[in-house]
Amino acid sequence: MAEYSAFALLKNALSGNTDWKPAWRKAAPKPSYDVIIVGGGGHGLSTAYYLAKEHGITNVAVLEKGYLGSGNVGRNTTIVRSNYLLPDSIRFYEHSMKLWENLSHDLNYNVMFSQRGVLNLAHTPAQADDYIRRGNAMRHQGGDAEWLSAAEIGRRVPGLDVSAKARFPVVGGLLQPRAGTARHDAVAWGYARGADRRGVDLIEHCEVTGFLREGDRIVGVVTNRGEIRARKVGVAVAGSTGRVMKLAGIDKLPIESHVLQAFVSESIKPFVDSVVTFGAGHLYMSQSDKGGLVFGGGLDEYNTYAQRGNLPLVEEVMSEICAMFPAIGRLRLLRSWGGVMDMSMDGSPIITKGPLPGMYLNSGWCYGGFKATPASGWAFAWTIARDEPHAINAAYTLDRFNRGVLIDEKGQGSTPKLH
């Protein structure tokens, strides 16, 4: 497999880049494994990596119906943050942030993690109070947060309209300096390469069409490439969770599938060097290394499995970004895409054993899937290997919805599309 170093870069540059070796093997399925992970996105790949690295479980297969990284890990706005309010959420996403900070070194693969900061704009005094409360909660849990005045924001983000005549005047903002962005494809490729190097089989174009059962226990999967047995089967398929779990006879889960659109503009010179989010609506924006403005907004708010959205949401997002940055109003939109979100009833994830013996579930990521990639895989691997949750995911159970112990970060109640 490929080794990456300054020497390898120089060697291949001199040979016309014709001698790079594959980053991972094209594995064929074996009859059985210790663990099968259904889903070859960021969470599935990171789970396999940490099963091998942290727990020594290497007889693992990752099954992906398309190619690795073809789902939501390649369809997002690349934002990484841990600016949450509730203790369970802060602990989990802070663990993820610490993994992000060492991820390129750990994987020997540059995931292009850029700690450029995430700035949440406040447009009313009440919103400012809410953000300051959140910042204090973050700092109590060991995170980082700073409150900025409108004048400080104007100096930090020169293109932002912070004037008194702005349609939505800015009264201040909550900054998390350690937050930022990462290259989504590189995250998938880095985890894939790392898992492969530890003996994990990454099996592409292998769609799960059913589950093997002995009584109530899951003992493997049926795929378009034959039956594969396993002692444990983990499911990490994001917006396809409902469809995949139905194959196991699980018809009701506390999630809904919605499409979330994202956009990128034509490239321009350096314009904004941090992530900025709009407080009077739902919009988040950063600038990529290639110069495009990468941004997204809210859900399309109807249930769908399609990776495309509708035009009213496009219009809403464009109006919000122009309200924030009037100077970019004449930029051309280069492309858009959609990812299918598995929206949970309280806006928080599910990382748990079950709901059947031999099965493990990782779902309900709503908007938070990409930034959670390291901690999600780390905690899911722990849960699978030890048959019990780690402290950081102990609250992310399925039965919390039956018990009414919701982790309602936004205070929206049990309405998935509002999270």
Span of 15-24, 217-226, 279-288 with lowest mean pLDDT:
15-24
pLDDT band for position 4 (50/70/90)?
A: confident
Sorted by sequence, the CB contacts under 8 Å of residue 407 that are 6+ apart come out as 86, 88, 89, 346, 347, 348, 395, 396, 400
328-371 pLDDT, tens digit each: 999 999 999 999 999 999 999 999 998 999 999 999 999 889 99
Q: If you average pLDDT over residues 140-169, what whole number do you get?
A: 95
| 4, 58, 109, 283 from 23: Cα distances, Å | 10, 18, 10, 35
Would you state the structure tokens that stand for residue 243, as one six-digit string? 């469809």
H or E stretch covering 94 = helix 87-101
Measured distance CA(255)–CA(347) in Å, rounded: 9
pLDDT of residue 5: 82
pLDDT of residue 99: 98
pLDDT of residue 1: 61
pLDDT over threshold 90, residue 8: no
Sorted by sequence, the CB contacts under 8 Å of residue 315 that are 6+ apart come out as none
pLDDT over threshold 90, residue 376: yes
pLDDT over threshold 70, residue 383: yes
66-93 pLDDT, tens digit each: 999 888 998 899 999 999 999 999 999 9
Residue found by looking up tokens 């950081």 in the block: 392
Residue found by looking up tokens 């040979």 in the block: 15
pLDDT band for position 20 (50/70/90)?
A: confident
159-190 pLDDT, tens digit each: 999 999 999 999 999 999 999 999 999 999 99
**Exposed (0-12), middle (13-18) or buried (19+): which is 284, by Cβ within 10 Å?**
buried
pLDDT of residue 144: 97
Q: Report the SS3 class of residue 122.
A: strand
pLDDT band for position 415 (50/70/90)?
A: confident
**Strands 333-344, 255-265: parallel, antiparallel or unpaired by DSSP?**
antiparallel
Other Cβ atoms closer than 10 A to 24: 21
Would you state the structure tokens that stand for residue 280, as one six-digit string? 């009077």
User: Domains plus CATH for the chain?
Assistant: 28-82+85-107+184-254+346-418 (3.50.50.60)
Compute φ and ψ for 402, nearest 5 degrees: -75, -35
pLDDT over threshold 70, residue 2: no
More confident residue, 108 or 60: 60
Measured distance CA(30)–CA(24) in Å, rounded: 17
Per-residue burial over 223-236, b = 16 or more CB atoms within 10 Å of its CB, e = otherwise: beeeebebbbbbbb
Q: If you average pLDDT over residues 262-282, what whole number do you get?
A: 96
Mean pLDDT of the chain: 95
Would you state the structure tokens that stand for residue 302, as one six-digit string? 């109807």
254-263 pLDDT, tens digit each: 999 999 999 9
Is-contact 349 359, C-beta < 8 A? Answer: no
Is-contact 1 25, C-beta < 8 A? Answer: yes
Q: If you average pLDDT over residues 242-258, what whole number do you get?
A: 95
Q: What does the DSSP assignment read for 27-43? A: PPPPSEEEEEEE--SHH
